[in-house]
Amino acid sequence: MALLEIKNLHAEIDGKEILKGINLSINAGEVHAIMGPNGSGKSTLCHVLGGRDGYEVTQGTITFDGHDLLEMETEERAVAGMLLGFQHPVEIPGVKNIYLLKEALNAKREAQGLDEIDTFTFMKQVRELVASMDMDDAFLHRGVNAGFSGGEKKRNEILQMLLLEPKLALLDETDSGLDIDALKVVSEGINRMRGEERGIILVTHYQRLLNYVEPDFVHVLYKGKIIKSGDKTLAHRLEAEGYQEILEEAS
Amino acid sequence: MRQGLPDWLKTALPQTAAAPATIARTAREQVETLGLPGLRDEEWRWTNIRAIQRGNFSAPAGVGADIEPAIRLPLDNPLRLRFIDGVFQGVPNDAPEGLTLTALADADEATRQAAFSPKPAPSVENPNDALVTLNTAMAREGVVIDVAANATIERPIVIEWLDGATESVMSHPRVLVRLGQSAKATVVEHIETVGDQPAWRNSVIVSTIAANAALTHIALGLDGASRLATERSFASLERDARYHSYNVQLGGQMIRREYDIHVGGSGAHTDLIGLMMPRGKQVLDTHTRITHAAADTTSNEHYRTIADDAGRGIFKGRILIEEDAQRIEAYQSSNNLILSDNAEIDAKPELEIYADDVSCSHGATIGRLDQEALFYLRTRGVPLAEARGLLIAGFAQEVIDEIPLVELRDWLSIRLEERLGEQDLAGHETE
Ligand SMILES: Nc1ncnc2c1ncn2[C@@H]1O[C@H](COP(=O)(O)OP(=O)(O)OP(=O)(O)O)[C@@H](O)[C@H]1O
Ligand SMILES: [Mg+2]
């Protein structure tokens, strides 16, 4: 059974249909890249998968790890193993990063029937991850993403992913706004997550991320539909030719 | 027109007051015409004073001295100045060198003159001042805190206002805080309801801060569904003086707190930091007025209100920059959070600038919890109610973080968490 199975998904915002029949199947162990022009609905798909209020699913089904995803609250999806990496991570001054990391980890552990993690083990683990992301410990004691640079916010998303070890990571343009070094660090983080038991969806505009994290499948989303799917060579074609030719082929 | 004094207040006017005779006499004459402020007064438009007008309060007849506050603040070796229903319980006998504590009744004429001559002087035209004038006419209880030049008092000086011990009591205490040149001290107002009796306290604190001295003034309104309070703080600053004010109001039926800060010497600076959290039907109201009367002075003001249920929060901040006061920096921000459809917040900045070389900014925001932030937290597995609690606490924490006493900061954070635990935070979120 697929880890994530999306069938004929239609969704609207404020009565305006944005997703117009998406079909997508992702197995554990696979990395999928979703590409597509601005405004095609990539972030909308991520938000629908995250269960955001105001995004109304009008048709279709989504199964995640055997659960009917559309019946679950956002936080239930999270503790069941879905992690959404935001295109624009939200700044939350006043809530410390370290506090959120601990709350998030404990929420997941609670759902798994585990005790709260002890502070010592937690801090040790977090410090190692922070170092691996080439971040400074000081970030832990700042408000969540508060005043972080664009690149720092994206590293922070990956840090959370590495700590929470989701079954499915949905990374919406995690590579946007990164300098070359940061792109490497972020890619290494994603590759570390790659494994038999996990699925990864990378929403991206650029081939350069896919050079570091080779996808098993590439999909092109256009006007709320996946109009073409292929292997990694599809991304190369897009990089070389742009969307025009592929759009024409598809229509 | 304003109504005169209600009869119950008229009959309560004392024959002898703590104010010097001429000041007291004038005040007594004025209160008869000033009466109490009412809804028609612009400054009281948002704050219903009816509970006081109809209160039929009387002066305390004498209270047991064995009343202790239920809340213990985590302060290091505090000096306690306890008022039970406005009645002063006496000065502690272990004041450190450099600090003199005197009951107002025992103070000499010149000191009492200072206690009853705040700057700016109360005026008959200003409805706000009716309550100060009333206090002047009524005050018999109070305390004088004198810090000698160059003295640094490490022990926090805690004024405990323990209200509501006896039924329908009103009180009009007066406090004078005087810091000599280069002196430093911290005054904490611990405000707590000790009984469930309705009570009204109309207190005035007058602070004078000499050159290069620094006063930290923390007010903590800790609880109190039945508490009615009208509180006025005056502070006047000489050259290079500092006045740091922190005002945390966590409850009370109707609390109106006013600050008048006269920044009168070059190089002087004031901070006014505040957090108000009305819920139920509480009305928490702070008005501040900063007067930059000298060149090269600065002020920094930051207020936040979080209103739940049918709670009401009011913040009005006036900054006046006088004509000769050049090179002023004055910042004010007021950020407000509304948690329920029935809650209400009014925030109003008011700038009056007569000088031309001034850097002044103000901003007020009123909003709901940030939906994006809520969603973000929930995608990390934090349940809705908890996510709301985190955001609310985080919003308040940014004010609490500015309080200079670390033990108090931590204690307030925990109290806030407990307090949020009592509130129903699972409420419905709509986009
Ligand atoms: N709240 C909203 N109300 C109305 N339309 C919206 C709303 N949010 C998004 N849309 C519209 O939905 C469409 C898809 O937006 P989405 O953010 O999913 O695009 P995207 O593929 O992620 O684009 P990008 O590559 O620029 O990130 C856009 O046309 C956008 O304007
Ligand atoms: Mg997008």
Q: What per-residue confidence (pLDDT) applies to A75?
A: 97
| DSSP string across B394-424 | HHHHHHHTT-S-HHHHHHHHHHHHHHHHHS-
- pLDDT for position B46: 76
- The residues near A175 (Cβ < 8 Å, ≥ 6 apart) are A154, A183, A186, A187, A202, A204, A206, A208, A209
Under DSSP, the state recorded for A128 is H
| Number of DSSP helices (H) and strands (E) in chain B, helices first | 8, 20
Q: Could you report the per-residue pLDDT of B364-401, keeping only the tens digit for each?
A: 999 999 999 999 999 999 999 999 999 999 999 999 99
Compute the nearest-CA separation of A3 from chain B (Å).
Answer: 18
Range of the domain at B174: 7-263
- Mean pLDDT score, A116-142: 94
> Band of the pLDDT at B61, cuts 50, 70, 90?
confident
Closest residue in B to A110 (Cα) is B381
B349 part of a folded domain: no
Atom of ligand 1 at shortest distance to CA of A36? 21
Range in A37-51, A166-180, A235-249, B75-89 with the lowest mean pLDDT? A235-249
Q: Which of B232, B263, B294 is the last residue of a domain?
A: B263
Do B22 and B158 have their domain in common?
yes
CA distance A13 to A224: 12
- Name which residue leads in pLDDT, B53 or B336: B336
Q: Are residues B148 and B98 in contact, defined by beta-carbon separation less than 8 angstroms?
A: yes
Number of domains in chain A: 1
Q: Tell me the CB-side half-sphere exposure of residue A135, using CA atoms within 13 A.
A: 28
CA distance B415 to B223: 11
CATH number, domain with residue A15 = 3.40.50.300
Portion of chain B with pLDDT greater than 90, in percent: 76
In sequence order, what are the residues at sequence separation of 6 or more whose Cβ sits closer than 8 angstroms to the Cβ of residue B62?
Answer: B87
The amino acid at residue B412 is L
**pLDDT tops 80 at residue B4:** no
Residue A53: which of B373, B55, B263, B115 has the closest Cα? B373
For chain A, give me the number of helices (H) and strands (E)? Answer: 9, 12
Q: Mind telling me how many Å the CA of A95 is from chain B's nearest CA? A: 5
CA distance A203 to A201: 6
Nearest to A215 by CA among A241, A238, A249, A244: A238
Domain-terminating residue out of B243, B263, B283: B263
Beta carbons of A75 and B393 less than 8 Å apart: no
Q: Is a pLDDT exceeding 50 seen at residue B428?
A: no
Expressed as residue numbers, the domain containing A91 is 4-250
Chain B residues touching A103 at Cβ < 8 A: 380-382, 386, 390
Provide the pLDDT for residue B427: 57
Q: Which of B241, B263, B285 is the last residue of a domain?
A: B263
**pLDDT of amino acid B80:** 97
CA dist A161 → A49, A174, B387 (Å): 16, 12, 19
- Of B161, B412, B177, B155, the closest CA to residue B273 belongs to B412
The mean per-residue pLDDT over the stretch B222-248 comes to: 93
In a domain, B21, yes or no: yes
Nearest CA in chain A to B381: A75
Inside any domain, residue B151: yes
pLDDT of residue A222: 95
Q: Whose alpha carbon is nearest atom 19 of ligand 1?
A: A39
pLDDT for res B1: 44
Identify whether the C-beta of residue A127 lies closer than 8 Å to the C-beta of residue A159: no
> Closest Cα of chain A to B166: distance in Å?
41
The answer to the question of residue B334 being in a domain is no
Report field, pTM of the whole predicted structure over 0.80? yes
Model pLDDT, residue B143:
98
Residue list, ligand 1 pocket, CB within 6 Å: A 13-14, 16, 18, 36, 38-44, 87
pLDDT of B59 > 90? The answer is: no
Tens-digit pLDDT profile for residues B193-222? 988 778 899 999 999 999 999 999 999 999
In a domain, B358, yes or no: no
Counting ligands in written order, the one closest to the CA of A47 is 1
The tokens for A131 are 């170092």
Could you read off the pLDDT of B403-417 as tens digits, one per residue? 999 999 999 999 998
Kindly identify which residue of chain B lies nearest to residue A157, measuring between CA atoms. B380
Rounded to an integer, the average pLDDT of B77-104 is: 96
Considering only CA atoms, which of B244, B248, B201, B287 is closest in space to residue B416?
B248
Peptide bond into B120 cis (omega under 30): yes
pLDDT at B328: 97
Q: Classify strands B79-84 and B174-179 as parallel, antiparallel or unpaired.
A: unpaired
Which has more pLDDT, B127 or B316? B316
From the CB of residue B370, how many other CB atoms can be counted at a distance below 10 Å?
A: 16
Is residue B196 included in any domain, yes or no?
yes
Q: Give pLDDT, residue B62.
A: 67
Chain A hits for B430, CB-CB cut-off 8 Å, are 53
Q: Evaluate whether residue B142 is within a structural domain.
A: yes
Would you say residue A188 has pLDDT above 80? yes
Is B235 within a domain?
A: yes
Number of domains making up chain B: 2
